Structure 1
Amino acid sequence: MEFVWMSDNHNIVPDSTPEGSSWSGHEPIENEGFTYTHTFSTLGTYEYHCQPHESAGMVGTVEVVENPSSGGGGEKELEELGVPIQAHWVGAATILGIIVTAIFTFYILKYGESAHTGTGRNG
């Protein structure tokens, strides 16, 4: 796993690691552009925090599993992508509304007013 510093004054301090793990994090403070790479070989949950920013909620978790379920693409359900299904329906309804409005506008511009709004027949 690669950790990339996107701003200044960060480190990685482990809070808990699985039994048998030798991960010690990266405790020296580093600045933007620094990268730290570690291969997690022991299965389990690794919890860590950034010491200067822990009070701001800068914490993280790495879960190391034997057979990751997202190991190689394939089709995914919409819910697996992190977007609720309702958001997709809102997007589809918005696009449909735009299309219907464009067709209605074209019809009005081409044929003018409705047949039922004229002044009627004289005679």
Structure 2
Amino acid sequence: MAATGVAGGGAAGATAAAAQETTTTSSGNTTASGNETTTAANGTTTSGGASGGGGPTKEVIVGPGGSLVFEPAEITIATGTTVKWVWESDNHNVVPSSQPEGADWQGTPGAPSKTYNTGYEYSHTFNTTGTFEYYCQPHETAGMVGTINVKESISSGGGGGQKEANPEHMGVPFQAHFVGLATLLMIAVSLVYTFFLLKYGESPHASGGN
């Protein structure tokens, strides 16, 4: 296990944003080297290391209800987000088909033909921007494919300027509505006052007998 960890550390030094793996076997034995996590059917889980900690997590269901799909099939995340695939049916895997230059995402451990069953979990933290596409090797022809769009940030921090610049969320429409309502109210009061003034202002009862 120590040898694997050293090898993983060396790979990380060569490629700053490279994906690294942590694997949990069905017997509970683990080999750790970075920002991926797999969980065996027996529930044993190992953390992916510091690079995968602290960030948000997005869950993707593998084969929900026995259907041959990833749910959701397409997601958009910010860099540093961990995607966790959770198996809800048997004989599936996650195999990358394309990814941005500089990324080194390997997908589920083992050869592309190696599949996993219900209860298995696999996680990977995405640190490289771009589009990642993947598929389930036994069911690719059935349309079991997925897409992950990784951006620098989503609706927060530096990438959230679009939301902050929207004046509709800053109280402006409410001010405009209040001004409009106040204007209508003033017009209504003026009309009522004028009506009563014209109707009763010249009444003989209004002039008095003094």
Aligned to 2:155: 69
Q: Does 1:59 align with 2:145?
A: yes
Aligned to 1:98: none
1:8-45 Cα deviation digits (max 9, x unpaired): 00011111010000101114310011000100111110
Q: Does 1:4 align with 2:4?
A: no
Large movers: runs of 4+ above 4 Å:
none
Aligned to 2:104: 22
Q: Does 1:47 align with 2:47?
A: no
The structure, 1 or 2, with the larger RCO (C-alpha pairs under 8 Å, 6+ apart) is 1
Secondary structure, counterpart of 2:119 in structure 1:
coil
TM-score normalized by the length of structure 2: 0.33
Listed as ranges, the gaps of 5+ residues in structure 1 are 75-123
Cα distance 1:70–1:53, how it changes in 2: closer, same or farther (>3 A)? farther
Larger radius of gyration: 2
CA RMSD of aligned residues (A): 1.9
Listed as ranges, the gaps of 5+ residues in structure 2 are 1-82, 158-162, 164-210
Report the residue type matching 1:34 in the other structure: Y
Q: What is the aligned-residue identity percentage?
A: 58
